[in-house]
Amino acid sequence: MALSRVCWARAALWGSAVTPGLYVTRKLQLVRSGLAWGAPGSSKLHLSPKTDVKNLISYVVTKTKVINGKYHRFLGRHFPRFYVLYTIFMKGLQMLWADAKKARRIKTNMWKHNIKFHQLSYREMEHLRQIQHGTHPAVHDILALRNCFSNYPLGMNQLHALQMKALSRAMLLTPYLPPLLLRHRLKTHTTVIHHLDKALAKLGIGQLTAQEVKSACYLRGLNSTHVAEDRCRTWLGEWLQISCSLKEAELSLLLHNVVLLSTNYIGTRR
């Protein structure tokens, strides 16, 4: 009798242990089946994984653009001086990235189709040449920054002493003067060149002799000693395009143009 009770208790114990186990297993199977086939009345589970990923990416991109726009407005409103430098840096970075991507695409195409450099189109060859040897900025690239040179920190009245000394050296002027005199002389010198540019634009570069062209380039910061006459005329024409497009408040760009327009110019690196 006692033995039968023990056996019954053991059977009851095993039964209580096994029955929930079977129930849980069956429940999990039903849940998995529901996830696989979709719960009744639910439409979200029937979306394809590709659609979900695309929607998620679109949502993230949209939110990122909104946040980025707010960040730019915040910088422009609370830190206008820093925002000017930030904008210049970001524009330069974007241009550099775009140039690098284009160069990589050209080189990949050359490798895939076994194309030699001399078989490329003119624009492709020129792009690779500029990437490899440094890019000479175009007129429209420089004029795109004109607003940055009418106020702090690059405006004529906001230049620091070290900047004015460096620009004085570039303009072949002595930098050993007090900041007040440096600023006054740079203003006067730049204004005179601006007036000369307008007069020269009316006259026409073609009316200048070879020596006059060389002297005009030298006055504007280009070391024309080893530059051919035709290239000097081209460079001077680019300078006049920029100068004649500027207002008086933007003449700091003309002053900095001594450096910007001479950068990587063919024939100046010796």
> Is residue 144 a part of any domain in this protein?
yes
pLDDT score recorded for residue 13: 43
Rounded CA-CA distance 78/69 in Å is: 14
| Residue tagged 């078989």 (tokens) | 119
Whether residues 128 and 248 share a domain: the answer is no
Quickly list H helices, the chain: 2-37, 49-78, 80-113, 122-133, 139-143, 161-170, 179-203, 210-219, 229-243, 251-260
Q: What is the pLDDT of residue 190?
A: 93
Chain-centroid distance of CA 7 in Å reads 83
Length of the chain as a residue count: 270
Looking at residue 77, its amino acid is R
Q: Examine the domain organization and report whether 120 and 217 are in the same domain.
A: no
Q: What is the pLDDT of residue 25?
A: 45
Asked whether residue 21 is assigned to any structural domain, the reply reads: no
What pTM does this model have?
A: 0.52
- Domain holding 144, by residue range, is 138-270
Q: Is residue 104 part of a domain?
A: yes
Question: Which one of 135, 162, 185 terminates a domain?
Answer: 135
256 with 269, same domain? yes
List per-block mean pLDDT (blocks of 10 residues) for the chain, which spans 270 residues.
Answer: 46 44 45 44 52 73 74 72 60 64 84 86 77 69 85 85 86 88 94 95 95 92 85 94 93 87 57
Burial of 216 (0-12, 13-18, 19+ CB in 10 A): buried
Query: Tokens for 98?
Result: 């775009």
Same domain, 144 and 121: no
* Claim to verify: residue 148 and residue 249 sit in the same structural domain: yes
How far CA 262 is from CA of 9, 136, 235, in Å, comes to 100, 8, 9
**Number of folded domains in the chain?**
2
